[in-house]
Amino acid sequence: MSSKRLGFFLLLAPLVLWLGLLIILPHIDMAIVSLRTRVAPREYAPSLDNYAAFVTEPLYLFTFLRTAVMSILVTVITLIIAFPISYYIAKIAKGRSQAALFLMCLVPFWVSELVRTFGWIILLRETGVISGFLQWLGLADQPVEMLYNDAAMMLGLVYTSMLFMVVPLTTTLESLDDAVIEAGYDLGGTGPSVLREIVIPHAMPGIVSGCIVVFMLSLGNYLTPTMLGGKDSLWFTQLIYSQFIVRFNWELGAAFGFCLLFASSVIVWATLRLTGQTLERTMGEGS
C-alpha cells in the first residue's frame, strides 16, 4: 500500500511543479505587478492606477473592444465557411477521398503561421500576385494594394483558424448516423428544417469547441494583425507587447495581460454555460 502511495506522489510531483512554477505562481505574480505603481525608481506602491488607465484612456479601451468584436466576427466567419466543408467531408465524401480531403485540411497547419502569413503578403501586396493578375485581366490599370487593412487581417485570421473549426466539426458530424437524417426527411422534413432540427443540434459540441478555440486564438494572435493589418488595425496584443518590450512599463502591460485573460475567460465561460458544455468535454473533443 505504501508503494502505491509513493507512486502517487511521484506522479503528482511533476504535475504540481509544472502547474505551480509555470502557470499559477507566474499569474499570481503578474496580478501583483499589475496592482502596483512606480512612485520612485525601484519603489512601488499598491494601486489600481493601471486598471484605471485602461478604463479611462480611450485608445486602450477602444482597442480592447475592437479586438474582442473582430475576434467574434472571425469566429463566426470561420464557422460559416467551415460548416459546409466539414459536412461534405463527414457525410458526402466516402472512403479514400474522405480521408484525403480531411488530410488536405490539416496540411497547411503543419506549416508555421509565419509561412502562411508570408504567403498572403506575397499574394495581396501591391507588387503581388493578385494585383498582377487583375492587371493582366484588364480589371485594374495600375497596381492595387490589398494589404495592410482590416479585410486582409480578417482573411489571415480566418485562414489561420480554419483547422481548429474543421476538425471538431468533422469529428462530431461523422458520429451522426445517416439513418437519423433519412428519418428526418421521411417524417416530412425539408433541407433547412433537417439542418436546423437534427444536424446542428447534433454538431453542437463540435461547434462550441471549434468556436472557443478559434476565438481564443484570434484574440491572442499577434503575428497576423502585425503582418497583415494596417496602421489603424491595432490589436490588443500589440499594446501588451509595446508596454512590455518598447516602453518597459511592466505594470501597465501586466494589467493589459489580465484584461485579455479576463475577456477570453469570460467569453469561453459564457459560451460553455449558454450551450451546456464543459471544458473537459470540449477540450477532449477538440484535440
Binders of another protein among residues 181 to 240 (CB under 8 A) are 181-182, 185, 191, 194-195, 216, 219-223, 227, 237, 240
Cell of residue 28, nine digits: 499570481
For another protein, what does the binding mask look like between residues 81 and 110, x meaning CB under 8 A? x--xx-xx--xx-x------x--xxxxx-x
Tell me which residue has cell 478555440. Answer: 213
Give the CA diameter of the chain: 82
Q: Looking at 170, 257, 271, 277, which residue binds another protein (CB under 8 A)?
A: 257
Whose CA is closest to 235, among 120, 68, 89? 68
To another protein, the closest distance from the beta carbon of 52 in angstroms equals: 20
Q: Looking at 52, 55, 118, 266, which residue binds another protein (CB under 8 A)?
A: 118
CA–CA distances in Å: residue 10 to residues 14, 17, 165: 8, 11, 37
To another protein, the closest distance from the beta carbon of 132 in angstroms equals: 4
To another protein, the closest distance from the beta carbon of 193 in angstroms equals: 12
Q: Which is nearer to another protein, 52 or 104 (CB)?
A: 104
Whose CA is closest to 149, among 126, 133, 129, 132? 126
Binding part of the chain for another protein, among 52-60, 79-87, 144-152, 203-211 by CB under 8 A, reads 79-87
Q: Looking at 37, 44, 79, 132, which residue binds another protein (CB under 8 A)?
A: 132
Q: Looking at 44, 49, 72, 244, which residue binds another protein (CB under 8 A)?
A: 244
Contact (Cβ atoms closer than 8 angstroms) between residue 268 and residue 216: yes
How many residues touch another protein under the rule CB under 8 A: the total is: 87
Residues in the chain: 287
To another protein, the closest distance from the beta carbon of 182 in angstroms equals: 6
Cell of residue 235, nine digits: 490589436
Instruction: Collect all residues with Cβ–Cβ distance below 8 Å to 171 and sequence separation of at least 6.
Output: 206, 285
DSSP of 92-116, one letter per residue?
IS-HHHHHHHHHHHHGGGGS-HHHH
Q: Looking at 37, 51, 261, 275, which residue binds another protein (CB under 8 A)?
A: 261
Tell me which residue has cell 485581366. Answer: 137
Q: Looking at 3, 43, 231, 274, which residue binds another protein (CB under 8 A)?
A: 3
